[in-house]
Structure 1
Amino acid sequence: MRRLRRPNQQEAELDITSFMNLMIVLVPVLLLSLVFSQVRILNLQLPVAASGDSQQEEQDEPKLLELIIDKSGFELHYPSGVLLKQIDKTEQGYDFVALKTFLKDLKMTFQQNNIEKNDIVLLLAPNTDYQTIVTAMDTVRSFEAVVAANLVDAELFPNISLGDAPVAEVATTTEQGGQ
């Protein structure tokens, strides 16, 4: 009887060189692309709640800097309820440049009077659009200044709280807009 011989089968070697080359190129490219996709987060503070009727608590309570944003423009109050500046809305929209200029002057006045003020409350009318809120937050947070021939962000009022505009203010603004 004759036996059939099978030819000698050799085991195939795995050649992973091309796969390793691909990984060597792909991993750094993916890591570099992560730098360009960053998430921005805006930190907000909760407004201070009013409590008690004691005069001593009122004296110890810090004075609030409030920026009311409504359809007619900006109103800046310090302390709460005392109007400092009213900036009317122009044909192009809200005047953020005038607001930033006034806030820079106000911050300098606070520093000259040794008042440490880093917080502001944005009081918003019910139909204030999102882009206006974000631009207002960027405007009150910082401004660009030149220090030692470098452009840096100087601090204005970085601790931002949000709230609803007073009802009386909204009603007055609505009445004026209707006339």
Structure 2
Amino acid sequence: MPNRRRKGRRSIDATELNITPFMNLMVVLIPFLLSGVVFSRLAILEMKLPTSQTQAAASNPAKDPFRLVVTLRQNGVTVLGSDIKRAQFPKKESVYALEGLSDLLEQVKAKHPQESALILLSEPEIPYEALIAVMDACREKEGLALFPDISIGEVKVL
């Protein structure tokens, strides 16, 4: 009987867990993920998307007591509003005249300090950087808040 094996017990050899492939994966994966986090910087701009009523009001600014519409085109920036007949700031050497736009909006804000809404209409071909630069010029000038509530819409190309 001493040569018989017991059915219930088996001898289990202790094996080592090979974690080298897992360590190699971590050595490669962690720097890759960290480098992706460093280079992805997000900026959030709060804006209101126009409704059909907003677009109808933008085409006829005289109906409401106060309406301010900034139109961004390939050739420059145009401002229409309740107190403004039509102000144009032509594009010079592929740069928009944002200083003149900010000065005009500062004058409008002095007349209407309680207002904060502005409608920004843009042609589809306008570069994103130019649109953001105009939005920044409309939001504030030298720390003074101008018109931070910006609604964006599309204007047809002439």
Q: Structure 1 length normalisation: TM-score? A: 0.55
What is the SS of the residue equivalent to 1:44? Answer: coil
Alpha-carbon distance in structure 2 between the residues aligned to 1:104 and 1:65: 13
Identify if the C-alpha distance between structure 1 residues 89 and 79 changes in structure 2 by more than 3 Å, giving closer, same or farther: same
Alpha-carbon distance in structure 1 between the residues aligned to 2:128 and 2:117: 21
Aligned counterpart, 2:133: 135
Name the Cα RMSD after superposition.
Answer: 4.0
Q: Counterparts in 2 of 1:109-124, with a 5 A limit?
A: 109-111=111-113, 116-124=114-122
Matched pairs, number = 139
Q: Which runs of 4+ in 1 moved over 4 A?
A: none
2:88 to 57, 73, 86: 86
Identify if the C-alpha distance between structure 1 residues 75 and 49 changes in structure 2 by more than 3 Å, giving closer, same or farther: closer
What is the SS of the residue equivalent to 1:83? Answer: coil
Q: Structure 2 length normalisation: TM-score? A: 0.62
Aligned counterpart, 1:158: 148
| Residues 45 and 159 in structure 1, CA contact (< 8 A), matched pair in contact too | no
Alpha-carbon distance in structure 2 between the residues aligned to 1:83 and 1:125: 21
Aligned residue identity for 2:139: R
Alpha-carbon distance in structure 2 between the residues aligned to 1:164 and 1:49: 9
Aligned counterpart, 2:105: 103
| Residues 49 and 153 in structure 2, CA contact (< 8 A), matched pair in contact too | no
Identify if the C-alpha distance between structure 1 residues 117 and 135 changes in structure 2 by more than 3 Å, giving closer, same or farther: same
Q: Which runs of 5+ in 2 are unaligned?
A: 1-36, 58-62
